[in-house]
A and B are shown apart, each in its own frame.
Chain A
Amino acid sequence: MKDALWIFGILFLTYPGTIVWRIPAVRRLDLAARLAIAFATGVVIASTLLYVYSLAHVPWNRTTAGIPLLVLGVFGVLSVGAGAPAGPGARNARPQTAWIIISIFIALTLFGVLTARETTADLIFFWGPKAQRFNDVGKIDFDFLAFPHYSLMHPDYPPLLPLTYAWASLVAHRFSWWGPLVVLPIALGAITAAFRGLSRQAIGDERSAWYAVLLTAILAYGCAISMTAGGGDPMLLLFEVIAIAALTFGGDDRGMHILAAVALAGAAFTKVEGAVFVAITVVAYAIATRRFVRSVAIALPATVLLGSWLLLSWRHQLLDSYRLAKGTIHLDVLGSTLQGVLRQASYDVAWLPWLAALVPLLIRRRWKHAFFPLLVAGGTIASTLFFYLHHDDPSWWIAASAQRVLLTPLACLVVASAAASE
Chain B
Amino acid sequence: MTNRDTIEKTILAAATLVLFAAFINRLYTRGGPYAEQPQTIVDHVGPTKHETRDALILLPRIRPLLPSGAQLTCFRPVDGSEHYDMANFFTAVGQLPDQTVLPPFVAGLTVAPADRVEYVIAIREPFTHPAYRVVAEFPEGRLYRVVR
Contact = CB atoms under 8 A, between A and B. Distances in A.
B14 to A, nearest CB: 8
A402 B110 CA distance: 41
A222 to B, nearest CB: 9
A142 interface: no
A194 B97 CA distance: 37
Nearest to A119: B41
A356 B15 contact: yes
Nearest to A216: B16
Interface string A110-152: 0110111111010111101100110010000000000001101
A230 to B, nearest CB: 7
A210 B12 contact: yes
Given A112-B27, A118-B45, A360-B8, A213 B16 contact: yes
A108 interface: yes
Contacts of B26: 117, 221, 224-225
A128 B90 CA distance: 10
Contacts of A2: none
A363 B7 contact: yes
B147 interface: no
Interface stretch (B17-25, B75-83, B121-129, B131-139): B17-25
B18 A224 contact: no
**Chain B: interface secondary structure?**
helix
A153 B91 CA distance: 11
B145 interface: no
Interface in B75-108: 86-87, 90-91, 93-94, 97, 102-103
B42 A116 contact: yes
Contacts of A217: 15-16, 19-20, 23
A221 B42 contact: no
Interface residues of B, number: 39
Contact of B56 (A115, A124, A348, A349): A124
A214 B90 contact: no
Nearest to B105: A149
Contacts of A149: 102-103
Interface in B24-76: 24, 26-27, 30, 34, 37-38, 40-45, 50, 52, 56
A13 interface: no
B12 A213 contact: yes
A70 B118 CA distance: 46
Given A221-B22, A352-B19, A359 B11 contact: yes
B148 interface: no
A126 B92 CA distance: 11
A192 to B, nearest CB: 13
B91 A119 contact: no
Interface in A192-208: none
10 contacts: A105-B23, A116-B45, A126-B90, A129-B97, A152-B90, A221-B19, A221-B26, A349-B18, A352-B15, A363-B7
